[in-house]
Amino acid sequence: NVPGIYAIGDVIAGPMLAHKAEDEGVAVAEIIAGQAGHVNYEVIPSVVYTSPEIASVGKTEEELKKAGIDYKAGKFPFSANGRARAMLH
């Protein structure tokens, strides 16, 4: 670490996603402005740009089980989604 030098986005650990880098940039701007900059990586969505796209946010089911956190899991068929119907999936 070098005081006054900041790195964000693809040059640091984590997913290479623009919205992650944007949150990190906001945190750096807050720090430079004398505020407490913070990025909560647990609420930044992960995205896979396939067809159809895949996205997730938060802890995985395995992480919740390991931490002993109660949770509810649900499933929804993609074929019932309006976009899937429009795309003929």
Q: Identify the pLDDT of residue 89.
A: 65
Distance from chain centroid for Cα 3? 27
Angle at 20 between CA 74 and CA 70, to 5 degrees: 30
* Residue 23 domain flag: yes
* Residue 1 domain flag: no
* Residue 27 domain flag: yes
Residues present in the chain in total? 89
Range of the domain at 82: 9-86
* Residue 81 domain flag: yes
* Residue 4 domain flag: no
Q: Which tens digits make up the pLDDT trace of 45-79?
A: 988 988 888 888 889 999 999 999 999 998 888 88
* Residue 3 domain flag: no
* Residue 2 domain flag: no
* Residue 77 domain flag: yes
Number of domains in the chain: 1
